[in-house]
Structure formats: structure tokens, C-alpha cells
Structure 1
């Protein structure tokens, strides 16, 4: 009997710890267990277990994939599943607050990454489709896999790849009853550099799995708690303007940065995760599963310090010029001809960037087989995610005379130093309440709700022929709804003089405290921390005294963007597939895999507000109860059908050598908030008429991203020792990307969602409306596609052939190279530059050196990625070049025979900073230090 027949494949998958329901019926698995093994499946203990199980999962999967086992996640208790996944070949992440959150796979960012939990689609807590993987505690995830090639039975959506997360199946547990508890304390060695930062955090988790009724009923439950303070000292340089200015009177105009932000950033993450599962299998033919997952994540974030804006409006002396860019000098607020101050100022800022998110996912699955050929599975699932983003802050500036609202001219000196911390000084004091006054208070909340219900029916029929081992087919229907609510509350003005009813307010001593910079920013000017709640109380006192409404965020016509950017998107998807699972001999080579096609019909539409102006719309009330007749409710969208063929072939050259080939057409739908239909409008003069113009930068008419992709890989699994080497080539031909664009002129006639009058009355005069000569600020599928190609090398070796204690030594590592012809343009450096595909690092290296001996485990892990382009976080998100980074993590543990394990861990061992720049490295972007994170605790298992 060939060792690669379906029964032995199933046995190997079971030995790798994978769910039997994902690959074969339980009856088939039981038959396979009774057969003689022809392939040696490696069985080891300790950390090596996770390494070898990952190899086995990769070896016997029918697609190109990478896997992390539950043992791995348990032995190295990452803060979230995102940290664990970054150890896989070709997987990288951008650090947020020092922690991995969104993932990039093979050079494509999170918008191209699809994610499932127990095979069910997951919605996001934000407006894009990028999954925030830090929402998922690693303690509650039993296994994580990254599928890099597609097959027809997988849900569509992963151009970069599909991340499959699995929670525990209690009937698959080795023990009849098991109980696990974890407790760890955490410490950040930079906590003393940020005012009010907590030094210590903690993690706690417990879980139980049990089998009852003669192993026919399984119950699993888990809880994981995280309290993690984080700190960051950061210098953020802002983009360089393309409107140059001659600052040293040499007749040459220089590029000038918009400003910079030296700040202390910090806060804390509190996450509570829950998991429960019940699996009832009363017979070999019937299986009923239900599971639920819930995660609540509160991230209290603040950013405090300075925001220096509009340097181009300052008078400059002692200018320092590097390659045409102004990188330092002495700056003073300039004066207009009438003696008023130009728009340059030093703001003392206290921002509240907190977010509060909840994610719930649940499902029930019923599977039946006839004991011979048929397996039928029915699944109903639900996924919901809510995200509330506070987005508030205060702005304070210096005044010569607060009572008479006479603002001071600011004077500063600064000098950039490329990717090192520069200098920033000022002769003025920013800690005196007699001169520093509250000029502006604002809140711009963004609340979002995602909800998805899906129904799935799958059939599998076992065949007895020399080509197909089985055939699968099925259908899935999903209904997804996204709702967004924008709101705003504002008091005061950024640069303009405060109006009589919104005066700049004197700060009181009980609402402020002095903050000194530490670490690399030591020596920067001190500033006042302002209590945001007390600032709002102060504002409300002033509003009440002048008979105005209280400070409360609303969607209102005065800030009509709040209503236009609110709205609903609905997505109905009906998909069907057929897939043949292959098992045939090509000469002396056994070939397995699958071939199939997935047909997908998508109906997307959005409801929102469209501005028509001049009282031509409906009567619509805002949150304040004010009525406007300048808007209409619109509904627009489209329906499209896609056919996605796929092929996966695995050529088993020997028992230990195999070649894989995969090809597929794949798709990823647009960010869901980009599908909103709301749009604002204005009318401009055109030859004595009025031309209609529209803004919004969203469109319910967007098409998905499409790509044709190909994979070719070679894998060798060692026969004389434990380990493997692999070599993979991949190629993706992406058809288009989505970009914001201004089309000028644009013909609005007949475009869905636009109702444009023939005439308008402006100041009592009637004008004809021109519908084909205005601007259209929207989002489109451009034709700027292109290839992404690369290679991946993997090597794992357990050195069990070494003598004595050295046999516990092991290594696992990978190298990935990615290249793309896709380019975009940016002018954030002051000049128009071609930039590579955001998120793509040409070189990525992941390594772990580990050692195990008599209960002692230790390991040192390294993650390296070369420079790449992504968004840096500032007052506005701005694309920047990220410097290459290398991150080391270390862990040591000792397991006693009674089930107790002690653990010590250090993350970011070398305190690697985040560094960015615009165009050239002397144009400083972000320099952000997160500190080392220390963990000490224990795990106890029964």
C-alpha cells in the first residue's frame, strides 16, 4: 500500500495535532489509526514538540501553509496571536505601542489578509478589513495556520494569505480531564521615563478541557486576562512641504517640514478573553459542536507634549540646510502686514487616543457521515465587532496677556539628526499657568459596528478510483452590515483668534501638573499635563455663562463631514464550490492535492447622505435637532460575480521529499469603510453657470482586488534526524489597487447615487447647473497593478545526533525575499517620489535557537525585516520609510514533574526603536522607543 493514500494522510494529520473534522470524517480517522504506519511521525516532548508538530502540519497539508501548534503558543506565551505568527516565514507586523497587531504576508498589508476562527470569517473592530490580531489572546488559541495558497473550499478573501485560528476541541485532547493556569507579572524598563506610567502589568489565564459519557461529550472553557501598561518616548517629524521657501536668502528655495511632535506616549491595554466549546459525538456518524469566543479590549492611550506646526510661516535664522531641506535653525512666529501673528505656533498638546473594542464570535456545526462514503456538514456562525475611538485632546499656547487674548510670539530652536534624536530648545516656559492658556478643546469620536451572519453547507463523497480520492462541494451565504458614526465637539480655534463666546481659558493649578521629558528626550522643554475631563468642565462653565450648548460630541450640520462620513454598508455574499481531492500515481511518483473552482456572487450597497445644496434636498435633522434641506438620503451599490479556480499539486518524490505547485485566482474585497456612499458637494463658477463638484473619497461601486498567484516549493524532511529544509518561490500578479483620486472634470450625468438639479438659486439669482465640468474626489480601482514575487527558505534541525547534553540543541529559521514592480507616488518629502508597495520588506529573517534538557527550556528568537513603507502615526497618518529593524526575544523555563513550570521572558531584548524618514534619512520622521518588557511567572497543569 502506498504511504500516501488518504487513510495514511489522515493519520499523519492526526499525529500533527490537527482537527480531524477539518480533513476527514471521524470514522475514517479511526480506521486509519488501526493501520500500520509507513511514514515515521516524529514524537518528542517539550518545546521541540511544537516545532515538530508544525513541520508535520506543513508536510501533510494539501496547500502551501505554515502552522504554529498549541504547544508552541503555550510554551512561549505571547501577548497576542499576532506576536506568535510573526515567527512564520514571510509574515511580518508593524509594531503599535511596541506590540504586533496587524500582519503583512508576503509583502502585502493587512487589507489583503483574510482571517477565520474555527473556519468562520471574522469581522474587524475598525473600518478596514485588516484583522487586529492583538484582540486574540494566545492562551485561548489552540492552533494558528497561514494558508499561502488557495483552494476552492476555503472562504475567499485572502490575496496575501488566509490566517486560520482554532480554539480547542475537547474531544481531541489527549487527557480525559486537564486544567491549566498561568500567572505572570510584567515590567517595562522605560516606565520611569513617562509621567504617570505604570511600571507593572500582569497576565492571568485558566482553562479546562474534559471528556464525559465515555468520551462522547467534550467540554472546554478558557479565560485570559491581560493588563499591560506601555510607554514610548517619541519624536515625530511631519511631512516636508512641496511649496518651497528661500530661508537663507541665497536665491534657492528649500523644502520645509510642516513641523514636529516631541511627546510622551503611554497608557495601558486591558483585555479579557473568553472561550467555550461543547463537542457531542454520540456515535461515529454524528458530531455536534458549538463554540463561542469573546474578547473585550480597552486601550487607554495618551500622547502628551508639544506639537510645533507650520514652520514655513516662521521667521528663520541660523538655518541649517541639508540636500535642499531645512533641518534646523532658530524660528520665531512671523507677523502679517497688519501686525497679526502668522500661523506658526508651539502647542502644548494632551491627546486622548483611547479605543474600546469588543469582539464576539460563535457557531454551531453538525456533521454526519453514513459510515461509508458521504459526509455532510452544516454550519451557522455569527461574528460581531464594535469599536469606539475617543479621539480627543486639548491645545494650549502661550499668551502675553490672557485676559485680553493677546497671544505670544513663539521662539524655538531645533536641529534634526537623521535617525537619531535631534535637539529642541526654547527660551520660553511652558509650565506657567499665568502665561499658558487653553486655546482649543476637541473630540472627534469614530464609532463602528460590524456584524456578520453566515450559513454554510458542505458535502464530501469518498471515491474509489485511481485519480480522485474524494470530491467536495457546498455553498455559503453571508450577510454583513457595517455602520459608522462620526461626531464632533469643538471649542476654540487652532490658529485663528478665539471668538468672544469661545475665549482662550486660563488654566487652574488643580487641573495641571509639570512633566519633564526622560530618556532620549531629556533636556527638551518641560510642559504642563492637562486633565482632559477638567478641561471639558472648564469649557462647559464658559459655554453655560454665554448661553451655549454643553460640550458634547454630535453629528451636526455645522461640521457636515460628521454626517457625510457616517453611514451603512451592507454586503450579501453567496458562494458555491466544487473541489476534487487528488490521489494518483504519475509513474513512480504519488501525487496528491486538489483542483476546484469557487463561484462568488457579491451584492454590495451603501446608504448615506448626499449633499445637493440650496435647499433642494429632504428635511433631515442632525443630532442637535437642527433641520437641513441641503441633503438627500441615497442608496447606491453594485452586484458582481467572480469565478475563482484553484489547483494544488503535491508530488511525493520519496517518503521524505516532495515538490508542491499551486495556482489560483484570488480576490480581496475593498476596505468596507471605503464602500460608503456619503458625499459632500459644492458649486463652482463655470462660464456664468454653476458646476457641480463632489467630495468624499469613498465609493460603493468599487471592485475587489484581484490577483493570479503561483507557488512552487521543494521540501525535504530529514530521515536520519529530526528536521527539514524547504525552498519556495511565489509570484502574484495583482490586477489593480484602490486609490483616492480627484477626477477633473468629471461627468456626473447618470452616475448612480447622484441627484443633481438642473438649476440652482444662489443669492437670489438662478443659475444653470453644469454636470460634466466639476471635480469628483472619490476612490477608484486604478490600473496600477503589477507583480509581487519572491522566495522563502526554511531550515529546522533538532541536533539529537550530538552527544549527551548537546542533543537538546535545536534551531528553526527562515529567510524571505520579496520584490514588486508596483510603485506609488508621494510628495511627503517635498518632492515627488516613487515609493514601493506599502508593507513590503525585501528581506525578512526569523530565527530561534533553543535548548531543552530535563525539564529546562531556553530559547533566543530574532526577527529582522529590511526597510519598508507604511503609515507613521502623527496628527495625521503620513506615509514614511521605516528603517530596518531587528528584534530579539528571550525565554527560559523549568518544568517540574508535578506539573508546575516557572518562566522568565524578555521581549525586545535590545530595546529596538521604530525609526522612519521621508525620502532621505536627514528628513526625520518617527523615532520611537518602547523599552524592554520583562515577564516572570508560572504555569500549572493537571
Structure 2
């Protein structure tokens, strides 16, 4: 792996030297991209080319359309506003520059034969005084224009969001910013967005990229199993993002593992002019009743006559958080096994640094560098009351720990043009690391390894309101003659009150998690432009990835209650409870009469000091690689992916364009883990190593028809795939001969990836005054869906129940989406300053899963097939916003709705775990006092919408969480 990346570095160095040598050879070809007057370079070939940059008063305009009058020869500007127009005939030519919301401009250019002409900076102006005022003030409209122009010019079906739009939303991480896009929803953790979901598809089917490379994963799911390929986006500050591209139908030059969609975060590189801005914010989380602070700094400039550009940015985001939660665990007959009341209080800190550098010696060459570092720390404490009805016990657990996630990486690359712009060479080498683990608690005297600490105190109790056979039910499941509890008022009904002094130390747990992924990537792209209506592009990409997963922990069972002196909770310092604004006030605080004061979290390190743990009353177990009970959770993996693609971009007349081609990706897997065998003769652990490889051929076709300048019709067929989750490929095999029947639980490295044939159609109508009306349909034909399978097999005359991930036969996902973004300029007076944005996505799906039932007479397990929804797929997704903008003042109310989705297939449909519908409302407003100074306010979760999971029926909750309102006030000062 290191050798491979060393070779990539050598390649990068050679490219830089080549660029430098080529620059010297070209001599006078040194016209800067931002020259005010155009210049002419030395001969380049038989034809000429025109280069330049398109801007407005504020900066570059990406997605501007440039064409030569009277011909079909045209191009668009890139993210930095630069353009290159090749195959230009000598003579007087007229450039037509158009941009949504701006006046179309014509520019006369005298083009010598076989020359490169640099027209320098072309500054566009708005179409009226009113629009000009809005643009110059740098409001929401100007950034909306950038995004819509990029979307309009793209041949593919995509959504785009610009950095300044992100900055005007009440969102402080990447996931929450992206949820505003059409067809996007998110999964939250402690009220904060973490994972992106496109069109309601499972998280694992969506590819999250950073500058075109897949972002490394540290954990995969909200339960910290560390098993999926999803990257947690709450570690990624939104201030580090320049653009977000959401591709719903990918092209062959993009990574192919993206069934739902591909979200690409483009980080900052270099500005077009000197920039220095400071952002400061302060607020409060009303659940935690503690502060939120945010600060960021961005500085960039261009020097050496514009040939060298750089940008650095830093951000610090410290936010307190709080969660009130109740959870219910059910028995097989839907009676309540236990009720858990959990009060969380925590602090999350994100510190990020981003740097970009580019060297542009001339119009034909650019070499760039990007680097980033972000560190996320989540300090969490929790007090958990558990009422165990089945065991006639009550317990109180206190836990405290810090989980840290660090992501860092860098890339170097270059863009080079040869043969009068007909041949372009792009190259890039990058490496990214992401690492997760527990960190040392502040002011802790514990000298051991960092760990998440937990201690549980318990006491026997007697419960009232149970059936004659000792069961407790909700009202929807109550048997005849029994009055069950309402789902939002499940009471323990203790026969007598419990005092703190009754609770005795039961057990302690020191949990340590570790997860790391390291990626090395090299990429080379070659573009050949033989004519002004055809472009051929081909290239290759090689990625090698290494991952490590493991979560050791130490369990201490205190035997004093039975064999010696007990340890009472009152032997330690306690703290008042509930704190942080009460507990479950949203449902009228129904548990205040049963809540006890817990030990202070500062007492946990005392319980875990060496002197305490040497007490002979402790029974200690280490769950690590040497323990059969935990060896299976430790594994490593290596994945090498070699990809190649060919694609053609063809323009037919001025109304029709298409992209066609294919991509091939070959994946090689090698995983190492442990096999565990348990029998009457004892337990045995043996290393296991498995490998596999597969190839994926991915044809793609995009067609774009433009009946007029305002209407796009886009049709796409793409084949994409999703690799199996890391945990599914884990080679661990656990065999137990002590159960009836004997069991085998194992991973499956021979899983096929899930493939999808995707059909998309989208219509886009662009309003003259900046806005969009869009609608489309999509259908995905799925093969090899991955699910957890249970089967029975006779091995050496012994019947085994085998649990492992397998591929199902087929499935499908289909739906439609509509959206509108419109400023209400047709209304009179101040009403004309309002605007609306709304989009709705409907999706439905089916997949075949095994259904297990037991014959009542023989006890035989019967396996049939059931048709179910694809897990984590929401049928309804809706985003809406009402905004107002005038004279430097902007206000926006935004709502996000995600419909219910199947979370876990477990047992029969009545036992399935569902994620309930969720609707959140946020508000943001800002006032621009002058071109440099802006004040803003951001409020999140105005509706205090709970996160809910339920089992089978919405009135049978498994988990309900409330987060309350959070808000921040701040200023943004653009010094220059």
C-alpha cells in the first residue's frame, strides 16, 4: 500500500516538473486568467482557442454559457468561472455570454489564426435596477443563480448548492445542509444530522464523496456497530464546503457505487480575489440549558500576477446538547420486558482546518493542492433508570465518556491542455484517513487506557398493575380484564417507593472502541476534443483501502451483595436529577415521582481506579481478541479497486446532447478475523482469512433535449451498485454445539454487490427571474439485495442453524419527484420580495425476505418468502421554505419531512422495527448592514419533533427522544 502511494507521489512530482518545463517552452503564454484586456499568445496549432473568466461584481460565475454566434460551438464556465472555447476559426468572432438572471452580453473578438486569445474578465450585470441591487448586496438570490446555472448546464440529473447558500441556512454540518436538496433526507444522532439519504434509499446505497473520492468511514450506524460504509457527516463543518453536487444519475467518470445518489463535497481552493472573513456566533441549547459557540476564519488571495492562489480556513464549533428519552423492550407476546428512562447531557466540539493552493503558470496548466483536518469530540453523560418487569428489578446506570472522530487528508493534482486545447490531461493523487475511538475524560485520575465508563446500581422491587402471571402490557396489547398503559404514559407502578439507599452496586463496564479507515487513491483522466460538438473522455482510478475494527471492553460484576459487604449508591457523591430543564416535559413529565438522584459522573473514575478494582468481591472479564465471546468483533480488511471508463459527449444541433459510455470496476477483497468454536470440550479461537474478487460492468447513457432556452428534458439509464457493508464481509465464524440445534453465525465475503439498473426522466423549466420548476420519475430494478438469512444444514449428521448475510433474488424501487423554486415578483409591493421553495419525493419499493414460522404440532421451522419494503426507505420526503429578501434583509423558514421507514426486519411483520415519520422546522434571518458586515440568527427544531421507533404498530414505541430548541446569534465580517 505504502509503495503504491509512493509511486503516486512520484507521479505527482513528475507531473509538476513536466508542467514547469512545458511552461518554459511556451514562453510568452503567460497571460493571467483575470486580465482586464484580452491578449494573444504564440501559435498553438491549426485552429485557435478563446479563454477567459466570467464574473459579476462579487466574484466568479460558474455555469455561464459561452458560445460563438452563428455556430454550435459553445462551452460553460467551471466552478471558478473559467472557460476554454476550442476549434475557433480565425477572423472576427462574436462571443455570446448568457447567465440565468443576467443580461446576455455579446463580445467582439478578433481571433488570429492558430492563436490562443485570452479575453480576460467578462463582468455581467443584472437585468434591472432592482435585480442589480440584490446581486450587488450578495443576497440569497445571487447564490441561487450560481446553483441553478450549474444545474441547467449539466447534461446529467443533479442538484447543486453553493457555499453562500449553505451559510445562510441554519445548518452547521454537511448533512444538515444537504437535507435542503430535492429528494434528500437525513438520519439524526442526538438531534444532529449524521447520514444522508437520497430518494429514501438505504444509507449504504448512497455515496458520500470529498472532491470526487469516497469519504472514509469510521462507524456505520447510529448504534456504533461500525459496520457500514457510510461516513458520519456531523464531523464535517459546513464552513469548509465550497459546493455540494448531488448526482442522482451518475456519469461513467464517477465512482460507480451509488444506487441512491452520489453526494460530492467540494472543499475550498483559491479565491478570485483577496478574501478575509470572520464569523462569530453564540447561542444556547434549550434542552441542555448550556451554550453554543461557533467561530470561523477564511483567508485567501492571489499573488504573482494571479498565477498563485491560496486559501486557508479554520472553524471551531462547540455545542452543548441534551436528550430526553424513553425506551421499551418487549417480550415475544408483546408484554413489556422493561421500561428505560434515559436522560442525556453532552457537549460536541468540532475543530476543522482546510487549505487550498494552486499554481497557474499560464492558461494551459494548473497544479493544485488541497488539505483538510477535522476533529470531532462527543462528550456524553447519561442517567438511565430501568424498570425490569420480567425480573422484578429496578436499576440506575450512570455513564460518561468521550468518543472522538478524526478525519484528515490531502491531495495534489493538475490540469494540462495540449494541441490547441484538443487534448486535456487531468491527474490527481490523494490520501484520506478517518479514525474513531474513545478519549480520556477531562480531570480523570484514571491512568488506564481511555474508555467509556458505566456503573449500574440495582435493587429488587415489586410492581403493581401486572397480570396474574406477572406480565405488563400496553393498552393495544392488553388481554381481557387487564387495563394497559398508554404508550406515552407507561408507568412502573412500584408497590412501594424506592430510596437511593436501597440501590447497590451491581456491575461496571469500561468500553473502548476503535475504528480506522485509510485510503490511497490515484486518478488519471484524458479528454480528446476532435470537434466542437464531440468530446471523448477516458481514464482510470486505483484505490487501496485498509480498515481496522474492534471494540474491547472490561466487565466487572460486583458480588458484594451476595458474598460480602454491599456498595450502596449513597456511598458516593450524588447529584440532583432530573437536571437540564426537567425530564420529558413534552409529555408532562410523567416520571418525576420515580426518578432518583444518581451518583455524580465525576465519581465514575473513582469506581474504576486500581485500588477499587482490586476488591476481591469483583468478578472481572476482559472482552478482547482472546475472549471467545468477543473475538468476532475484531477484524481487518483490505480492499483494492481498479476502475477504467470511456465516455463520449456529443452535441447534435443546438437542442440535443448526450453522454454515453461505460465504467468497469474490479474489486479485490481480503479480510482477516477470528473463528470461535464452543463445545463440551471447551472453546477454541482460530485466525481466519478470506478473499474474494468481482468485476462490475456499468453502462450508462444520458440524453438532454432543450426545446428552448428555458426548458431541459433529461433522460438517463445508468447501472450502479453497492458493495456489501464491512460487517457483512467480516470473516468471523462462531460455532456453538451447546445449543439445540447447534448454531453457526458468520460473515460472508462471497456476497455479490447489490446491482441496480436505473431509469430516470426529469423535466426542468427555468424562470427568467431566477427560479425553477422541475418534475421527474425514476425506477430502479434491483438484484442481489443483501439481508440477514437464517437457514438449516446438516453437517456430519449434526443439524445446524446458520445465520449469515446473503443475496436475495430481486427487488425494485420507483417513484417521482416535483419541485419549485420561485420568487414571487408578480405580487404587488413588499410581497414581491417573498419567495418559495418546495419539493416532494414519493418512493415505493419491494424486496423478498425469508419469513420463519414454527409448526404448532411438530415444532418444525417453516421458511416462506415475504415481500417487504427495502429497509430505511421512506415513501414520502418533503422540503419546503418561505423566504423574504429586501434591502439587505433575508429571512427563511424551512421545513423538512421524512416519512416512516422500515428499520429492521426481525421475526414477523408485527415485530418489525420502524422509524416513525418526522417533521422539523428551522428559521434563519440575516441583515447586511453594509457590504462587509452581516448579522444573523439561526433557530433549529422549532417544532421539537421527536425521533421515534416503534414495533409493528405506531402505538407500540421502542424509542422516543426529544431534543428541544437550539439557536445561535452571530456576525459575519468580510474584512476584504
TM-score bracket relative to the smaller structure? 0.7 to 0.9
Q: CA deviation at 1:286?
A: 1.3
Is the partner of 2:830 in helix, strand or coil? helix
Q: Corresponding residue for 2:41? A: none
Say whether residues 1:864 and 2:869 are aligned partners: no
Q: Corresponding residue for 2:831? A: 806
**Contact map agreement 1:185 1:937 (CA 8 A) in 2:** yes
Say whether residues 1:664 and 2:712 are aligned partners: no
Structure 2 distance, partners of 1:393, 1:102, is 27
Structure 1 distance, partners of 2:326, 2:398, is 15
Q: In structure 2, do the counterparts of structure 1 residues 292 and 215 end up closer, same or farther at CA, with 3 Å as the change threshold?
A: same
Q: Corresponding residue for 1:241? A: 331
**What does 1:372-387 correspond to in 2, within 5 Å?**
372-387=421-436
Q: Corresponding residue for 2:668? A: 603
Say whether residues 1:142 and 2:242 are aligned partners: yes
Structure 2 counterpart of 1:694, from 737, 744, 747: 744
Q: In structure 2, do the counterparts of structure 1 residues 809 and 884 end up closer, same or farther at CA, with 3 Å as the change threshold?
A: same
Say whether residues 1:848 and 2:881 are aligned partners: yes
Q: Corresponding residue for 1:929? A: 962
> CA deviation digits over 1:243-298, x for unaligned, max 9?
x3xxxxxxxxxx31322211212211111111001111111111111111111111
Q: Corresponding residue for 1:644? A: 698
Q: Corresponding residue for 1:733? A: 781
Structure 2 distance, partners of 1:210, 1:449, is 35
Q: CA deviation at 1:408?
A: 5.1
Say whether residues 1:592 and 2:660 are aligned partners: no
Unaligned runs of 5+ in 1: 1-5, 192-197, 245-254, 314-342, 399-406, 617-627, 748-769, 873-877
> CA deviation digits over 1:528-558, x for unaligned, max 9?
3234563453364454242979x7965154x
Structure 1 counterpart of 2:763, from 695, 714, 725: 714
Structure 2 distance, partners of 1:50, 1:524, is 53
Structure 1 distance, partners of 2:417, 2:302, is 22
Structure 2 distance, partners of 1:535, 1:853, is 55
Structure 1 distance, partners of 2:297, 2:88, is 35
**Contact map agreement 1:645 1:665 (CA 8 A) in 2:** yes
Structure 2 counterpart of 1:787, from 802, 812, 822: 812
Q: Corresponding residue for 1:507? A: 569
Structure 1 counterpart of 2:945, from 895, 912, 932: 912
> CA deviation digits over 1:590-639, x for unaligned, max 9?
212311111111100111122356899xxxxxxxxxxx993322210211
Q: Corresponding residue for 1:527? A: 596
Structure 1 distance, partners of 2:867, 2:381, is 34
**What does 1:80-119 correspond to in 2, within 5 Å?**
80-119=173-212
Q: In structure 2, do the counterparts of structure 1 residues 579 and 464 end up closer, same or farther at CA, with 3 Å as the change threshold?
A: same
Structure 1 distance, partners of 2:562, 2:879, is 57
Say whether residues 1:37 and 2:37 are aligned partners: no
**Contact map agreement 2:660 2:701 (CA 8 A) in 1:** yes
Is the partner of 2:607 in helix, strand or coil? helix
Q: Corresponding residue for 1:16? A: 62
Structure 1 distance, partners of 2:99, 2:140, is 23
Q: Corresponding residue for 1:420? A: 488
Is the partner of 1:381 in helix, strand or coil? strand
Q: In structure 2, do the counterparts of structure 1 residues 838 and 31 end up closer, same or farther at CA, with 3 Å as the change threshold?
A: farther
Q: CA deviation at 1:896?
A: 1.4
**Contact map agreement 1:425 1:524 (CA 8 A) in 2:** no
Q: Corresponding residue for 2:447? A: none
Is the partner of 1:72 in helix, strand or coil? helix
Is the partner of 1:806 in helix, strand or coil? helix
Structure 2 distance, partners of 1:7, 1:638, is 50
> CA deviation digits over 1:732-786, x for unaligned, max 9?
1111322222321166xxxxxxxxxxxxxxxxxxxxxx28743332221222x31
Q: Corresponding residue for 1:222? A: 313
Q: Corresponding residue for 2:614? A: 544
Unaligned runs of 5+ in 2: 1-48, 65-75, 103-125, 127-134, 220-225, 439-450, 467-471, 475-484, 857-863, 906-910
Structure 2 distance, partners of 1:850, 1:537, is 53
Structure 1 distance, partners of 2:142, 2:171, is 17
Q: Corresponding residue for 1:397? A: 458
Say whether residues 1:449 and 2:504 are aligned partners: no
Is the partner of 2:255 in helix, strand or coil? coil
Is the partner of 1:653 in helix, strand or coil? strand
**What does 1:294-313 correspond to in 2, within 5 Å?**
294-309=373-388, 311=389, 313=390
Say whether residues 1:178 and 2:275 are aligned partners: yes
Is the partner of 2:399 in helix, strand or coil? strand
**Contact map agreement 2:785 2:811 (CA 8 A) in 1:** no
Structure 2 distance, partners of 1:178, 1:105, is 34
Say whether residues 1:279 and 2:358 are aligned partners: yes
**Contact map agreement 2:913 2:951 (CA 8 A) in 1:** yes
Q: Corresponding residue for 1:129? A: 229
> CA deviation digits over 1:52-79, x for unaligned, max 9?
2222222111211111111101222512
> CA deviation digits over 1:456-496, x for unaligned, max 9?
11101112165xx2111111111101111221211117xx9
**Contact map agreement 1:480 1:571 (CA 8 A) in 2:** yes
Structure 1 distance, partners of 2:752, 2:94, is 51
Q: Corresponding residue for 2:930? A: 897
Q: Corresponding residue for 1:323? A: none
Structure 2 distance, partners of 1:815, 1:637, is 43
Q: Corresponding residue for 2:772? A: 724
Greater shift, 212-221 or 803-812, is seen at 803-812
**What does 1:194-593 correspond to in 2, within 5 Å?**
198-238=289-329, 240-242=330-332, 244=333, 255-309=334-388, 311=389, 313=390, 343-352=391-400, 354-370=402-418, 371-388=420-437, 392-398=453-459, 407=460, 409=462, 420-433=488-501, 435-464=502-531, 469-492=534-557, 500=563, 505-516=567-578, 517-518=582-583, 519=585, 520=587, 521-522=589-590, 523-531=592-600, 534-535=603-604, 537-538=606-607, 540-546=610-616, 555=624, 557=626, 559-585=627-653, 590-593=655-658
Q: Corresponding residue for 2:736? A: 682
Q: CA deviation at 1:149?
A: 0.2
> CA deviation digits over 1:130-177, x for unaligned, max 9?
12111110111111111000110001211110000011231xx34x21
Q: In structure 2, do the counterparts of structure 1 residues 41 and 31 end up closer, same or farther at CA, with 3 Å as the change threshold?
A: farther
Is the partner of 2:736 in helix, strand or coil? strand
Say whether residues 1:631 and 2:679 are aligned partners: no
Is the partner of 2:500 in helix, strand or coil? coil
**Contact map agreement 1:415 1:423 (CA 8 A) in 2:** no
Q: In structure 2, do the counterparts of structure 1 residues 454 and 771 end up closer, same or farther at CA, with 3 Å as the change threshold?
A: farther
**Contact map agreement 2:792 2:799 (CA 8 A) in 1:** yes
Structure 2 distance, partners of 1:524, 1:470, is 73
Q: In structure 2, do the counterparts of structure 1 residues 211 and 259 end up closer, same or farther at CA, with 3 Å as the change threshold?
A: same
Structure 2 distance, partners of 1:369, 1:149, is 28
**Contact map agreement 2:927 2:935 (CA 8 A) in 1:** yes
Greater shift, 107-116 or 389-398, is seen at 389-398
Q: In structure 2, do the counterparts of structure 1 residues 692 and 425 end up closer, same or farther at CA, with 3 Å as the change threshold?
A: closer
